A and B are shown apart, each in its own frame.
Chain A
Amino acid sequence: GESVGLHLPTLSVQEGDNSIINCAYSNSASDYFIWYKQESGKGPQFIIDIRSNMDKRQGQRVTVLLNKTVKHLSLQIAATQPGDSAVYFCAENGSGNTGKLIFGQGTTLQVKP
């Protein structure tokens, strides 16, 4: 079935270091991917997206890399701050021309001061 997964459930980094959160997706037909951040008790918040015709996209302090060959997605956060502590989800649009997103299980990012 369709699924999006993450390699590590928890990532702990020192404040100021760079963070890399990984995601493996299974559906090669997916052509749109999004990273969301979810803080405790809140809804997911959009961070950055990428379409399959791109390998890399940069935002403010964040970069998303897409490797379609191995169906791998990563989120890089530069100079990680305490406010970055949250659960991070990758999501894909799955097969077909559907309007839904399929989410992975999430990686908890803990930033140590």
Chain B
Amino acid sequence: DTGVSQDPRHKITKRGQNVTFRCDPISEHNRLYWYRQTLGQGPEFLTYFQNEAQLEKSRLLSDRFSAERPKGSFSTLEIQRTEQGDSAMYLCASSFSIGQGIDGELFFGEGSRLTVL
């Protein structure tokens, strides 16, 4: 499978615990995005990387959230001290872009569904 891969697909945790999601983008893609999607809503932008540089972060990304892409390949999204409001689908996407803007489509993974009890 050469698409965007996310792990785990489902995570159930108790409030206050930390969780980490991993995303493996399409190998030749230099951009990697994290989005959050709640039921009935469109994906909300969280952050994106170009290679290993984190270029933009949404105000939705509170200080409990941190994303990394240390070698410009896979990325992790960690949520510390989870709250019930963090329950959502966390989507990863990747693309290849030359300039600053968007050159082409974002390819999405299947998402990691988080449930905080």
Contacts and interface: CB of A to CB of B under 8 A. Distances in A.
Interface size class of A (residues with CB under 8 A): 20 to 34
Contact of B108 (A31, A43, A98): A43
B43 interface: yes
A99 B48 contact: yes
A99 B33 CA distance: 9
B56 A99 contact: yes
Interface string B48-70: 10100001100000000000000
Interface size class of B (residues with CB under 8 A): 20 to 34
B99 to A, nearest CB: 8
Contacts of B107: 46
B108 A103 contact: no
Contact of A98 (B93, B100, B111): B100
A103 B56 contact: no
B85 interface: no
A93 interface: yes
A89 B37 CA distance: 12
A112 B105 CA distance: 30
B91 interface: yes
A107 B57 CA distance: 27
B91 A93 contact: no
A103 B97 contact: no
Contacts of A101: 33, 45, 102, 106
Contacts of B102: 32, 93, 99-101
B109 interface: yes
Contacts of A49: 104-105
- Of A46, A91, A99, which is in contact with the most chain B CB atoms at under 10 Å from its CB? A99
Nearest to B113: A41
Interface of A: 4, 31-32, 34, 36, 41-46, 49, 89, 91, 93, 97-106
30 contacts: A4-B42, A31-B101, A36-B108, A41-B110, A42-B110, A42-B111, A43-B108, A45-B108, A46-B106, A46-B107, A49-B104, A89-B42, A93-B102, A97-B99, A98-B56, A99-B31, A99-B50, A99-B55, A99-B56, A99-B97, A99-B100, A99-B102, A101-B102, A103-B35, A103-B42, A103-B45, A105-B40, A105-B41, A106-B40, A106-B41
